[in-house]
A and B are shown apart, each in its own frame.
Chain A
Amino acid sequence: MKKLELIVRPSVVQQVIDALEETGAGGMTVTQVDGYGKQKGQTGLYRGTEFPIRLRPKVKLEVVVTEEKIESVIEKVIEVARTGEVGDGKIFVLPVEAAVRIRTGEKDEAAL
């Protein structure tokens, strides 16, 4: 089991959710987040004075999938989330030690 943390543009969230569903994700957690990477922030203008807006709005999707699905998920997400411009986001892959479905007590892959 691996956990994928996907940071993507807010404008492609629906497509990324579709892509995750198609590649077999049983569920996910989606959060509105702010942050910056290579794209950095942006410059605002208020009452004649420029000011830095250091963070940009992004969306973070967290999903746990079985190991064999990782490659196809990543491939599919890149397909829908890539614009080619700076700011398309990132995918992080993390190991998951265990999973438990609270309702039934099922463990690990059965709990996904």
Chain B
Amino acid sequence: MARKLLFTVLIIIFLAIFIGGAAMAGDPAAGDPAGNATGKAADISAVAAGHPTLDEVAAQVGKNKVGINMTWMLLTGFLVFFMQAGFALVETGFTRAKNAAHTMTMNLMVFLVGALGFYLVGFPLMFGNFGAVSALGGPPILSRGLSIGGWNILGNSGWFLSGTAYDVTVIALFLFQMVFMDTAATIPTGAMAERVKFSAVAASTFFISMLLYPIFGNWVWGGGWLAQIGAKLGLGHGAVDFAGSSVVHMIGGAAALAGAVVIGPRLGKYNKDGAPNVLPGHDIPMAILGTIILFFGWFGFNPGSTLAATDLRVAVVAVNTMMAGAAGGFAAMIYHWLRYGKPDPSMIANGTLAGLVAITAPSAFVSPVGSVIIGLIAGLLVVEAVFFIDRKLKVDDPVGAISVHFVNGAWGIIALGLFADGTYGEGLNGVTGAVAGLFHGGGYGQLAAQLITVAAAALWGVGVSYLFFKAYHALAGLRVKAEDELAGLDIPEMGVFAYPEFPLNADGYGVMGHEGGTQRVHGAITSARPHPLPDHLPDS
């Protein structure tokens, strides 16, 4: 009966479309299917409708330019926000199933905490002295800061996006910059995954979003002292970092390095003789999907950093981003393949991200040829960096965050000083002429500025976050209890398993990761089956 009724309804719908559609086809009051007639003088706001004056036309053109640029800034900001999904998937895929709820949720929590921290303190410190958001035609609202002897060191306006900062141009800038900060803040979670306390990540995210990131960011993007070494000391255009190889990736990677050093390696990662063990990730497809999402987001990260769609250099930025990412993943894949006989999925992912990190600073200033070279070198560099950090430094970084973001962030900044081709960046940081590196007639000035930027990012990033993590570890503890780490962090830290059941091989020892206990599902306690630990695991 129901089937007959459905069939009848379907017939009626088809008949209505055929008969109705035919009847309406010749309607003279039709719309504009080709779109040729839509959008005309009458659409310009004018006192005499349809007959705007030249001033009225000019005003509309100006508004359109700002509208296009603001749309671009918001849309690319949304793309960068989506990179949070990429980070969550990469980090969770490259770690073990017994910690999946913990690792994945950290990546959401970092955004939540970071948004508040950046709003409360970070944004005014970083951009308080930014000046007008010129691509949006904004007034110079953000124009107060602290300086010592003419060197700017901190911004000091735009608090709470209130008062004069309650302004569309400032607020659009805030959205775009907040998601960049979030990228930096989420990098350390990968390096400290599988043994860090959830509460410690909440605390360190406040630290990164309020102080570590904004203060360094001010020095490069907020008109601070690193941006001034061009105009004041004659070092090229001063620190040039188009989309954040240093500001975002080196700072995030530095916090990852300091955090991983202070917290120590995962249990079972190193033998007594120091030889590293393999703790394979539990979901490679998840990590590869995350890498592709990050790549997609990078088309917001770099091209969006023009802050203007009317800056047509954006096409070059986008293609440079695309090619460096491809070259990085390709180089890492071939290198690992030749050396070990297989194209390791995690290294392909790391290589792709390394190429993207490296091109982030130079993406607007180099040619596609330069971007491919930068990406290829990044892909080789990341593989060597992973081996060096894992085997020589014996710093346990489950996802390769330090190698991808810190090492290749530094490479990207230096690469700009080499490959910038003198076609873009006229007047940047108050220095006349375009940005040119060593290989394009720029001499050593720009390269020197870039090297100073790398040194400053490393010293500030690693130094200050090391002090923070050391102090936090002494006061509240960064690391979970050993028995919780062995059992997996999902139940002790989060109260719920990511996967209530998962396969025997999931944690790399060929045993279940859970030690039993109870799990809390929507407030109800259900029993979890006990799984004995094998005798070759260390006692907790």
Contact = CB atoms under 8 A, between A and B. Distances in A.
Given A34-B504, A34-B505, A55-B505, A48 B347 contact: yes
B522 interface: no
A15 B277 CA distance: 39
B443 interface: no
Nearest to B284: A46
Contacts of B387: 48
Interface stretch (B211-219, B334-342, B446-454): B334-342
A47 B390 contact: yes
Interface in A1-59: 32, 34, 41, 44-51, 53-55, 57
Q: Which of A34, A44, A49, A57 has the most CB of B within 10 A?
A: A49
Contacts of A48: 336, 339-340, 344, 347, 383, 386-387
Chain B: interface size category: 20 to 34
Nearest to B345: A46
Interface residues of A, number: 15
A9 B400 CA distance: 36
Contact of A51 (B278, B340, B341, B400): B278
Contacts, number: 46
Interface of B: 276-278, 280-281, 336, 339-342, 344, 346-347, 383, 386-387, 390, 400, 503-505, 508, 510
Interface of A: 32, 34, 41, 44-51, 53-55, 57
Nearest to A44: B280
A44 to B, nearest CB: 7
Top 8 closest pairs, chain A to chain B, by CB: A51-B278, A34-B504, A54-B510, A46-B280, A46-B278, A55-B510, A49-B278, A45-B342
Contacts of B347: 47-48
Contacts of A47: 278, 344, 346-347, 386, 390, 400
B98 to A, nearest CB: 16
A51 B505 contact: no
A106 to B, nearest CB: 32
Contacts of B344: 45-48
A40 B51 CA distance: 85
30 contacts: A34-B503, A34-B504, A34-B505, A41-B510, A45-B340, A45-B341, A45-B344, A46-B280, A46-B344, A46-B346, A47-B278, A47-B344, A47-B346, A47-B347, A47-B386, A47-B390, A48-B339, A48-B344, A48-B383, A48-B386, A49-B276, A49-B278, A50-B278, A51-B277, A51-B508, A53-B505, A53-B510, A55-B504, A55-B505, A55-B510
Q: Which of B281, B340, B510 has the most CB of A within 10 A?
A: B510
B504 A44 contact: no
A93 to B, nearest CB: 26
A41 B508 CA distance: 13
B512 to A, nearest CB: 11
Contacts of A57: 503
